[in-house]
Amino acid sequence: MVLTHLTRDLSLLERFAKVCDPSHAETGAEPDADAIRDLLAEVLTSGRPVDTTPLTDALFQRLASAYVHEPVDEEFIPLLLDQCGFAKLAPEPSHPPKALSRQRDFHVAVIGAGLSGICAGVKLGEAGYSYRIYDRNEDVGGTWLTNVYPGVGVDTPSHFYSYSFEVNPDWPEFYSKGEYVLDYLRRCADGYGVRDHVEFQTEVLSCAYDDASKRWAVTVRDRRGQERVDWADAVITAIGVFQGAVRPDIPGLDEFAGIAVHTAEWDPDLDLTGRRVAMIGTGASSMQVGPAIVDDVAQLTVFQRSPSWIMPRRKDDLTVSEGANWAMRHVPFYGEWFRFFTYWFASDGNFVRVVIDPEWHMPEVSVSKPSEDLRQWLLAYAREELADRPDLLERVIPDYPPFGKRILRDSNWYRMLRQDHVELVTDAIERATTGGLVTADGREVPADVLILATGYQVLPMLGQIDITGRNGTALTDVWGHDEPRAHLGTTVPGFPNLFVLAGPNSAPNHGAGVNILAESQIHYIVGCLDLLHERGARVLEPRQDVHDAYNERVDEALEGRVWSHPSVRSYYQNSSGRVIVSCPWRLVDYWSMLRVPDEDEYILS
C-alpha cells in the first residue's frame, strides 16, 4: 500500500493483488514480500522525490478497497482520512486577531485527565481557548493510571487505540498492556503542552451555572484539602462511563480474614504466589487477570454468574516485530495504512451483526444471519479450545446473541480453565466466611485471596459531581438515578455550555474504541464554542424539542439492536431495561452528525 501510495502506480494493485489478503494480517509472511520491499527500498533510497501530497478521495477509495478486499464506500472516506491519520480535514480559516483574543478570554474547565480529557486539552489549545483540567489523581492517564491489575491492557488493537493526530509507531504488541498505553498518554500530554494546564490531586465537587454572569462556578477540593471556587465559561466532563468499583453484595464479605481486592483498586505489591485465589466475575477485567496469574497461584476458583462471548486469538505471539516497528517509524504512511487495516475490521463492519432482523427464524439465540454466522464462529472456537472438556464447554456458552454484551478478546481464558488447579463454579455465592466462600448448595470454597472482578459503577451518570443548571435545577433531578439523556450524547437543555464526553447513548458498542468517540465529540464541542464567538454570544444550549426528537430517534433505533434483546441484561441498560450507554448507529453516522453543529438546534444568548 505504501509503494502504491508513494508512486501512484495503480498497476501495482493488480500485480500484487494476492498480497492484500486479510489472512496475512500481522504475520509478515505475505507472498511477494521480498519483491515489494525491494521496489519500495528503491523508491525510498533513489534520491528522487516521492509524492507525499494528500491522496484524492477517489484514489484513497481505490487503494483502500484493494487493501481490504471489499468495497470501501464513498461515505466512509472522510472519516477514514481523518481517523487513520492520512490527512486532516481542510483547516478552518484562520481566526481574525480580535476573534482569537475573545477565545483566549473564554475559559473552559475540563474534568478528567484521561484519554478524553487530554484530547480535549489538545484541541482546545489548538483552537486558542484558555482551559484548565482538573484530575483527582496524581498524573494523567485516567483508567490507565489507576488500573494496575495483572494483565491489564487494551482489547481494541493498539494501533487504532490512540489519537489520529498522534499515530504511534512504537507499540510493542498488537494489543498492548496498560503501562504502554499510559506511557503513550503521558507523552501526548507532555508533547502537546497539556500537562501544564492540569491541576492534579484536585477533585471537582460541584458545577453551578450562574444565570447573572452566564458562567459556571466550579467548586474544587485541592491536594491540601482546601475548597475554592473557580469560574469558567464552559464545562466539559471527561470522566468516562465507569465511575468507581462495584463491590458485590455478599453477606459476610467484611468478615473474610484474607485479602479481598477489587480489580479497580489493585495493590501492585500483592503477591499471589502459592495462594488459593477465588475470583468473582467473568467480565473484561477477569478475562485479563485470570490468565495473568494462573501460573503463580496454587488454586484458582472462578465464580461465574453469566458467561461472555470470546473472540478468537489471531495467534499466540502478538508481539510487534522489530522490522514492523522500524517501518512504522521510518517508512512514510506505513503506520497510517496499518491503522486503517486495524480500524476497518474492528468497526462498522460489525454493525450488521447488531441489527435485529424481525423476520429471523432463530431469535432466541441470534438476531440475523450475520449474527448467527458470528455465533457459529465463536462456538467453533470454544469447541476447539475445550474439545477435551465438554463439562466446561456447556457452561461457557452464553444464552444471549453475540454483541448483546461486550465481546471479549481471548487472553488464553479457555486454556486457563483447562488447567488442573483451576475450577469454574457457576453456583450462586450464598455468603462469605473468614476462610472463603460458601455456595448456594452449601459447599465451602477455601481461599486466601478474593479477587472482586465485579465491574464498575455506571449510574447515576455524572452522579459524583453536583451539577446545577439554569434556575438552580440539578442534573440529578432531570436525569434521575438512571434516565440520562442528551442531545447527540453531549448537550442537555437547561445546562448552558455544559458538554458531556461519553454521554448517554454515544458509546460505539459494536466496534472501534473510545478514542474515535472522544475525538468526534471534542471536534463538535470546539465547533459549538466557535459558533458562539462567530455569533457574538456567550452561551448555548440545545432546544428542548430538538433534544426530545433526537432521543425519540435513539429509542426507536435501539429497539432494533441486539442490546435490547429480551435475553440481555448488561451495564448498557438502566433498571427498566432501556439502553442508556450504546449508540444505535454506525460510527460513520455518528461521526458525521458531529462534524458541524447546527445553529438551528440551539438557543444562543
**Do 97-140+194-244+458-599 and 253-309+362-452 share a fold?**
yes
Pick the CATH number of 97-140+194-244+458-599 from 3.30.1310.10, 2.60.40.2230, 3.50.50.60, 3.30.390.10: 3.50.50.60
* Res 243: pLDDT: 86
| Nearest residue to 447 via CA among 296, 260, 267, 200 | 260
Q: Is the sign of the CA dihedral 390, 393, 395, 399 positive or negative?
A: negative
Helices then strands, each counted (H, E), the chain: 19, 21
CA distance 20 to 581: 36
pLDDT digits (tens, 9 = 90+) for 324-341: 999 999 999 999 999 999
**Quick one: cell of 258?**
484474607
pLDDT reading at 89 higher than 80: no
Q: How many residues does the chain have?
A: 605
* pLDDT, position 52: 81
N- to C-terminal Cα separation, the chain: 50
What is the overall mean pLDDT for the chain? 94
**What is the model's pLDDT at position 32?**
83
Quote the percentage of the chain above a pLDDT of 70: 95
Q: Express each pLDDT in 219-273 by its tens digit.
A: 999 999 999 999 999 999 999 999 889 999 999 999 999 999 999 999 999 999 9
Confidence class for position 94, pLDDT limits 50, 70, 90: very low
Q: What is the pLDDT of residue 87?
A: 66
User: What is the per-residue burial (b if ≥16 Cβ within 10 Å, else e) of 112-134?
Assistant: bbbbbbbbbbbbbbebbbebbbb
Given this model, what pLDDT does residue 17 score?
83
d(CA 149, CA 451): 10
Residue 556 has pLDDT above 80, yes or no: yes
Q: What are phi and psi of 29, to 5 degrees?
A: -115, 30
**What are the residue ranges spanned by the domains of the chain?**
2-90+330-344, 97-140+194-244+458-599, 253-309+362-452
Residue 97 pLDDT class (50, 70, 90 cuts):
very low
Q: 16-23 — which CB contacts under 8 Å span 24+ positions?
A: 17/66, 20/66, 20/67, 20/68, 20/69, 21/69, 22/68, 22/69, 22/345
153: pLDDT strictly greater than 60: yes
Assign a CATH topology to domain 253-309+362-452. FAD/NAD(P)-binding domain (3.50.50)
Please state, for a pLDDT cut of 90, what percent of the chain lies above it: 89
Per-residue pLDDT at 98 exceeds 90: no
Tell me: pLDDT of 564 over 90.
yes
22 — pLDDT class (breaks 50, 70, 90): low
Please report the pLDDT score of residue 54 as a whole number. 87
Assign 304 a pLDDT band (cuts: 50, 70, 90).
very high
